Amino acid sequence: MTMDPAHDTISGEQADQRDVQKNNFADDNFAGSGGGSQPHQEPRRVNNDPRANTRQKGNQVRRDRRDVHGWVVLDKPIGMTSTQAVAVLKRLFNAKRAGHAGTLDPLASGGLPIALGEATKTVPFVMDGRKRYQFTVCWGEERDTDDIEGRVTATSDQRPTREAILALLPRFTGVIEQIPPRYSAIKVQGERAYDLARDGEIVELAARPVEIHHLTLVDQPDNDHAVFEAECGKGTYVRALARDMGRILGTFGHICALRRTLVGPFGENDMIPLDQLEALCDRAASGEGSLADALMPVETALDDIPALAVTRADAARLHRGQAVLLRGRDAPISSGTVYVTVAGRLLALAEVGNGEIIPKRVFNLTGLTASTGRNERN
């Protein structure tokens, strides 16, 4: 059960180069709620039915993909891979682009943030945020995958007491050295570690520093199991945590249940079960609702970044990839990364420094975006 970073389905830098090349429009294109990228174009009605706009090819009917921008935090069910989850949401929304912000193993449930459209440019900000997990360790067996799916490699009749567990927790809090599981997505000479392990090769991974902010014992339902909650930084493996605690306690251990409850700015209140998404899709197809209600705004991923509002004239320059001079008493004093808005609408990620706003990632939010109500966090 890994906490690997997501592999974005598109390159943000490539998307930005494309955006800068194709955007060249006047200030009045920011007027109104559309914010379209083509000058003097009448606003188009957005069809909420994702099953519309199909094309006939031979004997098969193919739906045209559409522009959908925002975040969906799927409450991923057990048994589904992260890649499968992205594919399902891409189909439900009929979206052109999608990616996830951190792999969640099939045996794990909980928050899997999925970025659609322009939200894929903000994936790194979510991946760099804290994660929170609730997990159950089964004592007495160590397995080669460090979870319940693996082959048993060591056993013990000993079981840890509550006092022994509590005394151990401080050793796994703060910045620690952790050896990732052999069955992980880490690359070894260009190959994934789990592919090498499955082929029977000996995989030796080096220890690396990870940060665990909190680790608590939640419950000890019986002698064979203990339930923990951990809040940790990027790159931490809960499976390795269970493995290492079991070794020190002299009893061995592996993960037998795992649920992710927090990823960056996204918590349990933001999660949507798959069956609810499918029901919403059915209602949208019959004209009784909109899939926009399931979307969270692109900028939700940028909660920890300062916002900077600009005029329409400056917005037009930034959207063309041109820097804007900061001037006047209202010019911000701070420097660093900001997200830029115009008339309350997300425009770009930029760097502020040396008296300039320099655009780094430009957003084109034409298409289906989050409903107005989703702009208010629960």
Q: 245, 260 in Cβ contact below 8 A?
A: no
Element (H, E) at 176: strand 174-178
Rg value, the chain, Cα: 24
DSSP character at residue 299: G
Active site residues: 105
How many angstroms separate the CA atoms of 331 and 124, rounded?
A: 28
Which of 294, 279, 364 minimizes the C-alpha distance to 113?
294
Residues 6 or more apart whose Cβ sits within 8 Å of residue 240: 146, 178, 179, 180, 181
**Half-sphere exposure (CA, 13 Å, Cβ side) for 121?**
26
Token digits of residue 22: 């194709």
How many angstroms separate the CA atoms of 228 and 223, rounded?
A: 14
